[in-house]
Structure 1
């Protein structure tokens, strides 16, 4: 445990002072953020104090409720930390949600103060915006739970769940990061591509970076060349943090320069196909690390050196077990707000709904897919995860989802010269007839959540296929 966390103690993280002790502590000239230029810790503390005064003026008090709907930006960071310093509960809404989705979320969460974008002057391709925010008081209700942050699940498999995490829980995850071999070290940089509204970017980049003295730096634009420019901008080691979707950004660079600063790329959210991982490491000469986590608990297991792919090592302080084919993760209390479903959390265990295995000798965890991926076809068991992985490995397949929708149905995004016929031929060589998709929909672009995950909701995929034409 590092000094800031040790000094916080279990009592402090239940009060607003944890922000100063765990996140804002450090030398005034420590460059903790980068947005058009370096932002040192003294400047960040001033920005947080300014936002704190503004939120207080709007009526926010300890025990109150605040909703942030800001793009990743210095304004987002300052308002988030200011809300926590006041002692308020902060709900995070992705700025890419539609007005309809935002209204539904606000009705559901009923915050007392909302911070939204006003004027945005940066490029739409910039992952870190220049934004002037607006602060609005509304007739909401104070926080009904002790959670410091409220997040909505990604919604990749259906309606979002409301998930709460206490300050103590966030500090515990930060502490887990400090004990994981391969994370960025003090004085290094995180080139962050993952959204800071969601758990990977929020804790794995922003909160851990602020605590550990690691500069959090987004690229100027969300392009492969810009990501490499951000790596090359300083001499200190840099880790690129994103989701598998972002691997394509670096793959798009035709002739990448040699970058001794590049330490690794780490992805979370979905498994990376072996062929993709191999191509990345051969091209850039650095590890492609992998993380498994959930909004409900944060980082669960990692393989930051790419040594055990697809297996991972549980994060320090967490226990992962397999029960009836499902992976369970130790968690002392339910993360769900307004939900007491024993099928999701019970007796100190979070039911991940992921299938997998835990090696009894090494403790390594292998995540195999979703619990609902096992189906029966003519009395024979088919693991849709296997079918999807086989499809994703075929030449020309950019992304794929396989579901059981009356019959095994595949949705795929292809690069030329791949076609539905070539995909079907490739599957015929690799899978028994009863495992193969009966329908293959070729989409121009696979639907994704705001975090870059492939959408697996049947209704969304059906609508995308209908808009793309008939099955091919």
Structure 2
């Protein structure tokens, strides 16, 4: 039977392997597919009762718990879209995302927790808050086992055109951008991922990504679409990944490369122990040859894959598997390995600044995985390329022009064609990746300008070793760096808070009268003792 929706896929797996473990929770042990399905059904019934009918979009304020996974599946089983929220970011940001998404209900692990109370207060300031459902009902389902709870009825199976989830990326205007991903977008990517990594019953997948980060969809449904087990880490496990892999019997690893780099810096990356790993997938940020060399020494029997793709292209649109012989690796001048060929079921173009086909330039992609446009159509402006039959780029239409299926999504990534497919050379705009998270510098600047006394602000990304860090410059009333940092942490996720903040009487301007970011980048490059 062809896979139309994510929940149908999970449901088929649960019917085929009811007694196999779907989850392995830290300190609790395995949860079978039968138990997880029961937990999802009970949660769906509670949501229906609270809403008085099926919801359209549901926010999920929970992570790495039985309730979180049951809640995710419950929303999908009702034909609704999941809007994951990150419990670690400020409540005001989560409330704003909930409002932008139009979520009419929210699932929370513990309504009395500090995180949930702060979120409820933030949503109340915007008017009547959404219906809230306590995810503790999921634990009763796990204990009760199979069966459809009273009042829930069978799962709804929407058309594959329905939205499966809505994720929010950092927005250049200071407002997060919503990316609706439909079932028909994500299912082909998952089928490709499952086949490539040879996932199936007996496989044990890592779960390093939070639910607001789109590779988490591969974690969840790579497991639940193949009969494998999702292995959920404990609080400290990701700081000791090799011990986690060995102790929990993980066969498939998926993470940002910086996670491995941090473990190495902490002296927690023993070599040669992870012999049970069969496949290791890295992505979310630049993957270097140095990183792959280190991981090969950690897991000598694992295939290593560099996976690439923006949220708008359903997690991944290209992947490169490194050859077994190190001598055959292709490495770019910036030390990165190829992102690989674009998936065969997608089309791609590499274009120069004039929209003409080129060997090096911006990567543009279209096809079955390409999303249909942002939640706010105004965000579509400049993000799509339309071409004539001969391949020439056509002038952009009006900002309100509808996105067509034949339009190319402009990734904003600069690539070069190579024998291994594509090499990633960096971003074309001011969007950067910090710890695997996509950050628009404009959003950080907008938050800085909201602080008392700040008049103008600019943020640049500068290299610090193999990583990028953010440096901020502002004019206005000088304030202690620690005070500015506290103000930003109340507005932004921690990874978006600049590591360096400097006051200037006036920000420098270039010949065009714009802020001279090249000069600021040069000023920020040396380590500063006066940074916060």
Give the TM-score normalised by structure 2: 0.62
State the Cα distance separating 1:295 from its structure 2 match. Answer: 1.2
- Structure 2 vs 1, CA of residues 177 and 20 (structure 1 numbering), >3 Å: closer, same or farther? same
Which of 71, 77, 81 is the equivalent residue of 1:79? 71
Alignment of 1:76-225 (within 5 A): 76-118=68-110, 133=135, 146-154=162-170, 159-180=175-196, 182=197, 184-202=199-217, 204-223=218-237
- Counterpart-to-counterpart distance in 2, 1:191 and 1:254: 18
**Are residues 1:349 and 2:408 paired?**
yes
**Are residues 1:369 and 2:426 paired?**
yes
CA contact (8 A) 2:362 2:413 kept: yes
Which of 343, 349, 361 is the equivalent residue of 1:315? 343
Q: String of CA shifts for 1:282-315, please: whole Å, max 9, x gaps.
A: 3443454321111112211112436552341223
CA contact (8 A) 2:107 2:134 kept: no
Q: String of CA shifts for 1:357-394, please: whole Å, max 9, x gaps.
A: 234xx570222111127xxxxxxxxxx99xx9xxx9xx
CA contact (8 A) 1:24 1:211 kept: no
- Counterpart-to-counterpart distance in 1, 2:377 and 2:531: 39
State the Cα distance separating 1:170 from its structure 2 match. Answer: 2.3
CA contact (8 A) 2:43 2:135 kept: no
CA contact (8 A) 1:320 1:358 kept: no
- Counterpart-to-counterpart distance in 2, 1:234 and 1:101: 35
Alignment of 1:59-70 (within 5 A): 59=51, 61-62=53-54, 64-70=56-62
Q: Tell me, which stretches of 5 or more residues in structure 2 are unaligned?
A: 114-132, 138-157, 324-328, 331-336, 353-360, 385-402, 446-456, 474-480, 504-527
Q: How many residues align?
A: 386
State the Cα distance separating 1:209 from its structure 2 match. Answer: 0.9
- Structure 2 vs 1, CA of residues 206 and 120 (structure 1 numbering), >3 Å: closer, same or farther? farther
State the Cα distance separating 1:120 from its structure 2 match. Answer: 9.4
CA contact (8 A) 2:24 2:30 kept: yes
- Counterpart-to-counterpart distance in 2, 1:413 and 1:29: 49
State the Cα distance separating 1:221 from its structure 2 match. Answer: 3.4
Map of 2:363 onto structure 1: 327
Map of 1:411 onto structure 2: 462
State the Cα distance separating 1:101 from its structure 2 match. Answer: 0.7
- Counterpart-to-counterpart distance in 2, 1:221 and 1:95: 14
CA RMSD of aligned residues (A): 4.3
CA contact (8 A) 1:156 1:454 kept: no
CA contact (8 A) 1:225 1:253 kept: no
- Structure 2 vs 1, CA of residues 222 and 329 (structure 1 numbering), >3 Å: closer, same or farther? farther
Q: String of CA shifts for 1:328-385, please: whole Å, max 9, x gaps.
A: 11145523122152521353321101111234xx570222111127xxxxxxxxxx99
State the Cα distance separating 1:134 from its structure 2 match. Answer: 7.2
- Counterpart-to-counterpart distance in 2, 1:111 and 1:366: 39
- Counterpart-to-counterpart distance in 1, 2:61 and 2:500: 28
State the Cα distance separating 1:411 from its structure 2 match. Answer: 3.5
CA contact (8 A) 2:40 2:70 kept: yes
Alignment of 1:39-54 (within 5 A): 39-54=31-46
**Are residues 1:256 and 2:293 paired?**
no
Instruction: Name segments (4+ residues, structure 1) moved above 6 Å.
Output: 403-409, 450-454
Q: Tell me, which stretches of 5 or more residues in structure 1 are unaligned?
A: 1-6, 122-130, 136-142, 374-383, 393-400, 416-436
CA contact (8 A) 2:68 2:109 kept: no
Q: String of CA shifts for 1:188-217, please: whole Å, max 9, x gaps.
A: 111221223321012x11012101122110
